[in-house]
Structure 1
């Protein structure tokens, strides 16, 4: 593995409305790494990845992609982004193939699809186990199938960097296992991956590093927590049922 940085955040601050959400984040993701962003709801995980792709403006600090300032970066075909699960077609009637094909547009000339583009779309559908639903309307899909389509759309451009915002949220176990295997295939071919996760789940064996956020700050950057589940994350506060009512939350480490 080379040490070339793919994502660099230096002192990044961001606001939503007038509320500070990121308070000086430093983060480097190097080529070939799989990095999980962990933290409680509201800790700034999704905002952090959205600053990387330019959906949230930064109020201070620097963001770089592949060594280029993000505002000057143009090679977006190298980046695949899977947002938090939404309606894949945005309410517009569309087939599975049409949605996945939209992820290939950055690689085409003037939006014209050639044989290689169609093959890339087909391969992406096969990777996520949705080739048999290629002609179906996305409106007919289950939540887990929807998520697979969004991931296939991100894979269609054959990206060097894959950014995924809670890809396992609300997804059945069978789809989680398909997604974990899909991700393993991408890692094996050398892709760099940044994931926002609520818990590690089936992806745990793939994660090289965990970055834990709390209140918009990096609290931990290193080996992932061994135990799985929100209650096992470092710093999760909870009241045990056998604890006295006035005992307050039990603090278990880094996250709250």
Structure 2
């Protein structure tokens, strides 16, 4: 049996990927060990989302290796062990459905012959309770706010009771009330031993949960280690404390738009 303290549940090893002719990942190494909460940080275009999508097979790679639970991804079949919350999408994707139906779909990988049994229905109910939507199970997802849509997507992933939970920008475009709910939900999952890989623009309310931060820049790993001690852009690795200049200073204005701070957060 693998050592649960050091077992690597997800790994990218020297991974390269392109979008068209443009390199997006340039030899990325990333290992997530059992029980860790790892945040993948970086500016827009740094390769964060591409890295997690490559991990689950949504993006082809041109070089390098990928493993899930010690198995090469090409041979990995036990996808019920992995929960994935995508970035910036809606729960229904244009198809009329209730909140309960969408969340129940996340349990089908564990259901026998596609039929939800008592344990499956209990898992769906618990997932809805975790995200604070138990009272909306029969409502159409089209009636929900953006933050509530995000909660439904997270509940759908949690319904499968995954060992590894991958979340791509879970706080993006989410109101403060939903951010609090999502942070509390994630705390409960971590307490239950779930391994978590988060793509984040900034740590925000999830910062206290993060064990390790992996910072990408231009498709390469810039930093892999303890998360920054302070919240905010100025505490992040690679920031050179570039500050705004007067409007009549062309060089300063350009630097403010394209300097290290912009590369991190734009």
Q: Same fold (TM over 0.5)?
A: yes
Q: Which residue does 1:9 correspond to in 2?
A: 12
Runs of 5+ consecutive residues of structure 1 not aligned to the other structure: none
Match of 1:155 among 152, 158, 174: 158
Deviates more, 1:190-199 or 1:244-253: 244-253
Query: Is 2:107 the partner of 1:101?
Result: no
Question: C-alpha separation between the residues in 1 aligned to 2:233 and 2:87?
Answer: 18
Q: How big is the shift at 1:118?
A: 0.5
Say if 2:233 and 2:261, in contact at 8 Å, map to a contact too. Answer: no
Say if 1:36 and 1:197, in contact at 8 Å, map to a contact too. Answer: yes
Q: Which residue does 1:201 correspond to in 2?
A: 204
Q: Show the 5 A alignment for 1:124-135.
A: 124-135=127-138
Q: Show the 5 A alignment for 1:160-171.
A: 160-171=163-174
Runs of 5+ consecutive residues of structure 2 not aligned to the other structure: none
Question: C-alpha separation between the residues in 1 aligned to 2:212 and 2:246?
Answer: 34
Say if 2:33 and 2:195, in contact at 8 Å, map to a contact too. Answer: yes
Q: Which residue does 2:255 correspond to in 1?
A: 249
Report Cα offsets for 1:87-131 as digits up to 9, x if no partner: 211100000000000100100111011011011000000000000
Q: Which residue does 2:31 correspond to in 1?
A: 28
Q: TM-score, normalised by structure 2?
A: 0.91
Q: Show the 5 A alignment for 1:160-199.
A: 160-199=163-202
Q: Which residue does 1:44 correspond to in 2?
A: 47
Q: For this pair of structures, how many residues does the alignment match?
A: 256
Secondary structure of 1:43's counterpart equals coil
Match of 2:83 among 80, 83, 90: 80
Say if 1:235 and 1:254, in contact at 8 Å, map to a contact too. Answer: no
Question: C-alpha separation between the residues in 2 aligned to 1:181 and 1:241?
Answer: 40
Deviates more, 1:161-170 or 1:244-253: 244-253
Q: TM-score, normalised by structure 1?
A: 0.95
Question: C-alpha separation between the residues in 2 aligned to 1:24 and 1:36?
Answer: 18
Query: Is 2:141 the partner of 1:138?
Result: yes
Q: How big is the shift at 1:239?
A: 4.3
Say if 1:159 and 1:191, in contact at 8 Å, map to a contact too. Answer: yes
Question: C-alpha separation between the residues in 1 aligned to 2:233 and 2:138?
Answer: 38
Q: Which residue does 1:228 correspond to in 2?
A: 231
Match of 1:240 among 240, 244, 251: 244
Q: How big is the shift at 1:255?
A: 5.8
Cα RMSD between the aligned structures?
Answer: 1.9
Question: C-alpha separation between the residues in 1 aligned to 2:125 and 2:245?
Answer: 51
Q: How big is the shift at 1:78?
A: 0.5
Question: C-alpha separation between the residues in 2 aligned to 1:234 and 1:252?
Answer: 10
Secondary structure of 1:246's counterpart equals helix
